[in-house]
Chains A and B, each alone.
Chain A
Amino acid sequence: MTTPTVESAAQEQEPGGVPRRRFIGYVLAGTTLAVAADLSLGESRALAAIPSGPQIADAYDLEDLQTDAALPTAQLISITITKKGIAEFEFPRAEVGQGIITSTTMIIAEELDLPMRRVKVTLAPARPELLLNQLTGGSNTTFSTYTPIRVAAAIARQQLLEAAAIEFGTTADRLVTVAGVVRDPLTGQSRSYGDLAVGAASQVVKAVEVALRPEKKFKVIGKPHSRLDAEDAVTGKKRFTTDLQVPGALPTMVCRAPQHQGTPKKLRNKAKILKMPGVTHVAQVPTGIAVRAKTFGQCIDAVRAMDVEWNAGPADGESDKTVLAKLRAAEFPLAVPATPLTQTVDVDVAFAFRSSAALETYSAIADVRADSAEIWAGLKVPILAQQNIAQMAGLQQDQVKVHVITSGGSFGHKLFSDHALEAATISKAMGVPVKLMWHRADEPRQGRLHPMATSRVRASILAGQVISFEQRHTSVVTDFSHGLGEILTSTADSLPTGLGGYGFSQSIFLLTQQLPYNFGVVTQLLNETDSNYRTGSMRNIYSPDVAVAAELAIDQIAEKLKVDPVQFRLDHLKDERVKKVLQTVAKKGRWGRKLPKGMAQGIAVHKEYKGCSAVLVEIDCRPQTVKRDLGPETVTGPRVTKAHIAIDPGLVINPRGLEAQMQGGFMDGLALTLTSSCHLRDGKFLEASWDNYFYTRQWNVPPEVKVHIVDSGSSTPGGAGEAAVGTTAAAVACAYARATGSIPEMFPINHDHISFKPKTFIPPIPQSPTNGLKTAR
């Protein structure tokens, strides 16, 4: 199909004099009504030169980049009305728990005037023709798809009205739609959408014009709605990749090297492994020795029995200390000199490696044959998986079918297709279908990591005014080979001025960082070093670490100037929306209330994803709390006892889903600052399970967590998935610094103390215990 030319959206006057934008979309040829819309229907933006004052991300950010990348092919986003009156939409995004199926169903139901139960949103398989428009990340989904999906739905409704008008012998403007039925109020005649779907179909593709439902008439958008899969989730019916039954796809696991990214030389006891109970196949692949068996338990036994000769990994001999030294050596200098007239505030903090793994480990089903391949996996960039698998298997891209399965979490982990490619490689090597599942121990040791980083801030103060604020962020290289790299390259020509001279990562950095304060000369720069690690972004790219360092510095400046931290922020924030979220948490969380010694409040703001958020916490660092003993395998430490989160995400689609995203983002930010990290020793990561990778647990959760949604009257939805992470990490860090009177050199704060005995490296995975009945309670 060729891409029709799209005219720019026209304006027309409504009877009340309010201009209403009209959009062009398409009625597709088909036996039943099918409509489509183009993603270029997003909000228009000025792409003029960026004045020197604002940072690049103020005018054009990562959201815009991803949205612009989606422009050329987006007419392929289409909605079909079936003869049963169901609106079907294959969504080219991945549902990983963030709730986009529910919110997208709401958007379609709203615009089409159809009950939500008659809207079926499913995940589209990899569609190579979509090019870059099939990447789920950067909290961009709703921002980039809101308008086009509405336009498609509005055209469907318009076509149904016109089909009914012909049947009733009247005109469409005399008819109304109510819950999936077109009615003529004068005659009482009515037809369901299902009855009209065939008559409304077109034999040719035609462009039509449509206006969208005015926001003040919204009945679905903006009202709380529970997740559509809530019942399936609580009854065990919800299917994840390893729950699928694909004929012949038996459980498969991989014996991996002790060192990060080590590779296999040779399996010395293959004959013995093949004789083990349940084992059907063994194969050496680039990432290790794969084994396929009747059960995963027998795979675990086989992996543990393997005698493998390993090659060292690229980080052989490296440890946290050596990586940190490399980062220090790579730090860009701070440019503003200290003078006798100025006061300076310096903050210098480091951040450990962290694992972005979800609770569902990397898993994928693959059936690779001589002339075709079929893959089932949770994938946020399925097209890239398809390309990589085709290349590996020597197939054409269209011979590889990639099914996108709802994931048990992602947090950035499933931007990569490591699992799908590995499963396909094993299936090809063994010549049989496989159901690959990573062992938990594989995840922190061989899976994607959020890179170690340092962040230095220097602020200069002259006569009580902040005249400069410099931030130098230095990070182990972040891998963007999941698709964002391709987006940036392909969009390079249309990027705003000011990015031309920067490299790829620096560009991403500048597209995501918006220090929202008036601090005179502001520079935030990134340098990267050391590409020995399998990295990725973890529910944010750079922002949480950058926000922690910046907000700690802001507290320090306020203290130096003897101004209350909230007042200081309010005095220097540029944006009214940011001020409003800050005022909201300060008021609701009772900022400034008296607390016992050893407890303190902390507060922070963050602006990104076309919106902004503020978090207020109270932390308890008193010895009796820090030393709470809750038994083996638990890490307690300082406890955040109260959290207030305010979010202004622009237009809110589903407040209930938004609240969930804020709570979840909070739990991540809490772990980043206080408890969760990976330790590198001689090229090996020590962590191997949840009893040593200390993600937030019930005993770390504040008894009081309140989310406040702040309405800024915006008509554009922003991003929610990552919004609360950086703000929380910063607020908790600020609270900790205020409670203890010192800023930690390293985050999370417990990183320097290893509280566990590392699990076995050879074999690389622990055996399952046998105490299940004894520990029943």
Chain B
Amino acid sequence: MPKQTFILNGEKVTIDVEDDVRLLWVLRDLLGVTGPKYGCGINVCKACTSHINGKAFNPCATPVGDLKADDEVTTIEGLADTAPGPGLHPMQKAWIDRDVAQCGYCQPGQIMEAVALVRRLKKEGRALRDSDFDTIRNICRCGTYTRIREAIEQGAKNM
């Protein structure tokens, strides 16, 4: 069985698993990293959204064999460590301040998408616009969307 090596939340991991198994199952079923959630398995609900080398991506649509040994995968569990200083990431803090979560199932994916969105804006050198919310595909079946918008606005200011 092939050995898969990549960097997960700052630590090198190596695991024996077939190339075509999607990363979501490697994380959840084999490594016990359960922050990224299953909601569709076809890259539409975005509940598993995590980061690869700082960009948002969906492990449910990524064969683990596609990863290179130096690819850095960050899940919600590792997000806080990517921000300077101790404690939570500014986006996580904003989520708590706005009391965004209800059931909480989609929120790891929502937060990872929000952080990537703000990083994209920084790269483009522009401020958050209302139309940027239209680009967020993450579903929240509890309907926390309004508070997600407020939290992103707050988190963007502090990132």
Residues of A within 8 A of B (CB): 96-99, 226-227, 229-236, 238-240, 242-243, 245, 251, 277-278, 294-298, 300, 357-361, 406-409, 411, 437, 439-440, 630, 633, 656, 660, 663-668, 689-691, 695-699, 701, 703, 705, 765-766, 768-773, 775-777
Q: Beyond A664-B102, A772-B43, A772-B60, is A236–B32 a contact (Cβ under 8 Å)? A: no
In the complex, the answer to whether B37 meets A663 with C-beta atoms within 8 Å is no
Contact (A358, B141) CB under 8 Å given A408-B104, A663-B147, A699-B133: yes
- Check if B77 sits within 8 Å of A235, measured CB to CB: yes
List, in ascending order, chain A residues with CB within 8 A of B99's CB.
Answer: 226-227, 230, 656, 660
The contact string, 1 if C-beta is below 8 Å from chain A, for chain B 53-71, is 1011111111100100000
Q: What chain A residues lie within 8 Å of B41 (beta carbons)?
A: 300, 439-440, 765-766, 768
Mask of B10-33 contacts with A, CB within 8 angstroms, 1/0: 000000011011111110111010
CA gap between A117 and B76 in the complex, in Å: 25
A690 with B25: CB separation less than 8 A: no
Query: Could you say which residues of chain B place their CB within 8 Å of the CB of A768?
Result: 22, 41-43, 60-61
Give the distance in Å from the alpha carbon of A240 to the alpha carbon of B39 in the complex. Answer: 13
Pair A698/B105 contact, Cβ less than 8 Å: no
The distance from the CB of B30 to the nearest CB of chain A, in whole angstroms, is 7
Chain A residues with CB below 8 A from B18, complex form: 277-278
Task: Indicate the size class of the contact surface on chain B.
Answer: 35 or more
Q: Which one of B24, B52, B139 lies within 8 Å of A690 (CB-CB)?
A: B139
Q: Given A298-B21, A664-B102, A667-B145, 19 other A-B contacts at CB below 8 A?
A: A229-B104, A234-B76, A234-B92, A234-B101, A278-B18, A294-B29, A297-B29, A358-B141, A359-B106, A411-B141, A663-B144, A691-B40, A768-B43, A768-B60, A772-B58, A772-B59, A772-B61, A775-B58, A776-B52
A243 and chain B: residue at smallest CB distance: B34
How near does chain A come to B110, taking the closest CB pair, in angstroms? Answer: 9
- Does B102 lie within 8 Å of A99, measured CB to CB? yes
- For residue B90, give the distance in angstroms from its CB to the closest CB of chain A: 12
Q: Which residues of B contact A630 (CB under 8 A)?
A: 134-135
Set of chain A residues within 8 Å of B35, measured between Cβ atoms: 235-236
In contact, A358 and B103 (Cβ under 8 angstroms): yes
Residues of B within 8 A of A245 (CB): 32
User: Which A-chain residue is minimally distant from B29 (CB atoms)?
Assistant: A295
Chain B: which residue is nearest A770 at the CB level? B63
CA distance A407 to B32 in the complex (A): 19
6 residue pairs, one from A and one from B, having the closest CB atoms: A236-B35, A97-B103, A667-B143, A772-B62, A408-B105, A233-B104
Q: List 23 A-B contacts (CB under 8 A).
A: A97-B102, A97-B103, A227-B99, A234-B92, A234-B104, A236-B75, A242-B38, A277-B18, A359-B140, A360-B39, A409-B102, A656-B99, A660-B147, A663-B146, A690-B39, A696-B145, A698-B138, A766-B41, A768-B60, A770-B61, A771-B43, A772-B61, A777-B57
Which of B32, B37, B61, B133 sits near A698, CB closer than 8 Å? B133
- Pairwise interchain contact A297-B139, C-beta atoms closer than 8 A: no
A226 / chain B contacts, CB cutoff of 8 Å: 96, 99
B30 touches A236 (CB 8 A): no
Chain A residue numbers with a CB within 8 Å of B66 are 770, 772-773
Known A776-B57, A777-B120; contact A235-B88, beta-carbon cutoff 8 A: yes
- B7 contacts partner chain A, Cβ-Cβ < 8 Å: no
Residues B25 and A360 in contact, CB atoms below 8 Å apart: no
- How far is it, in angstroms, between the C-alpha of A766 and the C-alpha of B44 when the chains are bound? 12
For residue B145, give the distance in angstroms from its CB to the closest CB of chain A.
4
| Residues of chain A lying within 8 A (CB to CB) of residue B83 | none
Chain B residues in the interface with A (C-beta under 8 A): 17-18, 20-26, 28-30, 32, 34-45, 47, 52-53, 55-63, 66, 75-77, 80, 88, 92, 95-96, 99-108, 111, 116, 120, 130, 133-149
The reply to whether B92 and A235 contact each other, CB–CB distance below 8 Å, is yes
- Bound-state CA distance A601–B142 (Å) is 25
Number of cross-chain contacts by CB at 8 Å = 233
Known contacts A297-B21, A440-B41, A775-B43; A238 and B104 CB within 8 A of each other? yes
Instruction: For the complex, give the distance between the alpha carbons of A240 and B60 in Å.
Output: 18
Q: Which of B24, B104, B133 contacts A297 (CB 8 A)?
A: B24
Q: Does A295 lie within 8 Å of B101, measured CB to CB?
A: no
User: How far is it, in angstroms, between the C-alpha of A294 and the C-alpha of B42 when the chains are bound?
Assistant: 20
Residues of B close to A690: CB separation below 8 A: 39-40, 44-45, 139
- Which B residues touch A359, using CB under 8 A? 37, 39, 45, 47, 103, 105-106, 139-141
Residue from A239, A277, A360, A695 in contact with B103 in the complex, judged by beta carbons closer than 8 Å = A360
In whole angstroms, what is the CA distance A96 to B142 when docked?
10
CB distance from B40 to the nearest CB of A (A): 4
Contact A775/B45 with A226-B96, A236-B75, A668-B143 known, Cβ cut-off 8 Å = no
Q: Are A236 and B108 in contact (CB under 8 A)?
A: yes
Q: Is the CB of B40 within 8 A of A239?
A: no
> Which chain B positions have C-beta within 8 A of A765?
41
Q: Which residues of B contact A294 (CB under 8 A)?
A: 29-30
Q: In the assembled complex, which residues on chain A have CB atoms less than 8 Å from the CB atom of B43?
A: 768-769, 771-772, 775
A563 to B30, CA, bound (A): 66
Chain A neighbourhood of B144, CB < 8 A: 660, 663-664
Most chain A beta-carbon neighbours within 10 Å: one of B30, B41, B92:
B41
- For A407, what are the chain B residues with a Cβ–Cβ distance below 8 Å? 103
Complexed CA–CA distance, A359 and B106 (Å): 7
One of B28, B62, B75, B146 near A770 (C-beta < 8 A): B62
Contact between B103 and A701 (Cβ–Cβ < 8 Å)?
A: no
Question: Which residue of chain A has its CB nearest to the CB of B65?
Answer: A770
Q: How far, in angstroms, from A407 to B75 measured CA to CA in the complex?
A: 21
A701 with B111: CB separation less than 8 A: no
Whether B111 contacts A769 by the Cβ 8 Å rule is: no
Residues in B whose Cβ lies below 8 Å from that of A705: 146
Q: A234-B96, A243-B34 are in contact. Are A701 and B149 (CB under 8 A)?
A: yes
* Cα of A440 to Cα of B44 in the assembled complex, Å: 11
CB-based nearest B residue for A663: B146
Q: How far is the CA of A698 from the CA of B104 in the complex (A)?
A: 17
Residues of B within 8 A of A773 (CB): 52, 57, 62, 66
Is the CB–CB distance between A235 and B76 below 8 Å?
yes
Chain A neighbourhood of B137, CB < 8 A: 633, 697-698
